[in-house]
Structure 1
Amino acid sequence: MQEIQSAAWDSYSASQPQRRLTNAKGETTWFNWTQYPDHGPGVELLSLSAGGSVLDLGCGAGGNLAHLASIGMQGTGVDLSIAQLGKARQRWGSAGFELHQAEALGFLAQSTRTFDAVYSVFGAAYFTDPDRMLPAVHARLAQGGVFALSQRPAVEGCYGCQASYIPRGDDEDPAIVRRWDFSLVTWEALLKEYGFKDVTTSVLPAPVPGRRTIGTLLVSGRRA
């Protein structure tokens, strides 16, 4: 199963360009939670102190990790896709963060480290059962550490495990990966159930103007 999932995300990687060289402010690194450029909050959501340790679950091509490194944080990224990690190394080189090719739950189970923050931007937390992901994250967070995720908000009435399809070319069926969608109320209850406090949940509206209207789900909490 892991090999199938890895191949699916390698296919996804082939369809995605590298991050822009600069954003609208002219910055060469930046933190982005949403599916839209130059939109939404930044790294302040993680409430990090200087030199804090951070884990990115589903780090992709490493853009957010590169920004964390640029402001002095100790970043670690985990991704199942060899192609995505290759993009990260090609773009950022030895930018001061670690990369691991691994399945997120496996990495969390095997690691003995603790982190000041764990986050997932349309990453592994979107594609893993929260009944397994949340306790695993909680175990790796330092006391008071922040967990935050972003993903698309659920379609009303379509909750729980859903199917996502990733194109693999004209001659192949799309790859299928599972994702987990819940209402804001359910996300809040799940984090509290698994030992998080100061939980916040919201949907950040899409930027205006534009024809795209789907917002971004933002969820965060602290290890109690």
Structure 2
Amino acid sequence: MVEHDALTATREAYDDAAPTYAELFRDSLRDSPLDRAILGAFAESVTASGAGEVADLGCGPGHVTAHLDELGLAAFGVDASPAMIELARQAYPGLRFEVGSMAALDIADGALGGVLSRWSIIHTPPQEVPAVLAEFHRVLAPGGHLLIGFSGSEDPTHLTQVFDHAVAPAYRWWPDHLAAMLRELGLAEVARLVREPQPTDRRQFKAIQLLARKG
């Protein structure tokens, strides 16, 4: 199956890259005030809704999960890469990290107050993304919030565009298209952060983060 092959290839690629990836991104939020701002807004929205735990899906080495914990959320991490989860457990032994797939989460319906997905859908084949988004919707409680980050496409005539990611093949999305997919599931867009590419960026893509609320 296409999705199985993609997931296996991505898992193996991130297993191989885990130590280097962890070293590169361990302090990434320190130099990213816009990321800290949108994560702060997400945390305040989840807290205000008064609903449950927060899952950081595609948590990698766990640094963002730890940041959510510092913001006062009951956060845990899930990643398909066992090597990433092992690094996260070593770095943050007080937090919970689990190996798992975003397409089939071992989480009860409506159990979460928040779902964070930072650049974790980009390796999913586009035809499989609606099912992943539906899984995000399933595990969120009514009033819960989703914050999803991805690389933005510049061409509305191409809703997705493949690009050569450093670790595994990946896809960019036209943001209005992804927002519409969320809306069809019952996840209403609350806010959108668009970060323009910077001269130091390896790839000159817009970074999009959508904050949405489950009705």
TM class, shorter-chain normalised? 0.7 to 0.9
1:56: how far off?
0.8
**Structure with greater proportional helix content:** 2
State how far apart, in whole Å, the 1-side matches of 2:27 and 2:62 are.
Answer: 15
State how far apart, in whole Å, the 2-side matches of 1:181 and 1:21 are.
Answer: 24
Is it true that 1:116 corresponds to 2:113 in the alignment? yes
Residues 68-108 of structure 1: CA deviation (Å, up to 9, x unaligned): 222332112110111111221222222xx32111111122x
Q: What are the ranges of 5 or more consecutive residues in structure 1 without an aligned counterpart?
A: 24-31, 168-175
1:215: how far off?
3.1
Residues 109-166 of structure 1: CA deviation (Å, up to 9, x unaligned): x32151111011112x233333111211111101111111112212425433635454
Residues 47-83 of structure 1: CA deviation (Å, up to 9, x unaligned): 1218851011100010111122223321121101111
C-alpha contact 2:10 2:123 (8 A) present in aligned 1: no
- The structure with the larger Rg is 1
- Tell me the amino acid that sits aligned with residue 132 of structure 1: A
Alignment size in residue pairs: 197
- Matched residue of 2:46: which SS? coil
State how far apart, in whole Å, the 2-side matches of 1:221 and 1:181 are.
Answer: 19
**Mapping 1:48-67, distance limit 5 Å:** 48-49=46-47, 52-67=52-67
Q: 1:155 to 1:111 in 2, by over 3 A?
A: same
Identity %: 21
TM-score (norm 1): 0.75
Is it true that 1:44 corresponds to 2:43 in the alignment? no
**Mapping 1:1-224, distance limit 5 Å:** 1=5, 2-18=7-23, 32=29, 37-40=31-34, 41-46=37-42, 47-49=45-47, 52-94=52-94, 97-107=95-105, 110-112=106-108, 114-123=111-120, 125-128=121-124, 129-156=128-155, 157-160=157-160, 162=162, 164-166=164-166, 176-177=168-169, 179-206=170-197, 210-212=199-201, 213-224=204-215
Q: CA RMSD in A?
A: 2.8
TM-score (norm 2): 0.78
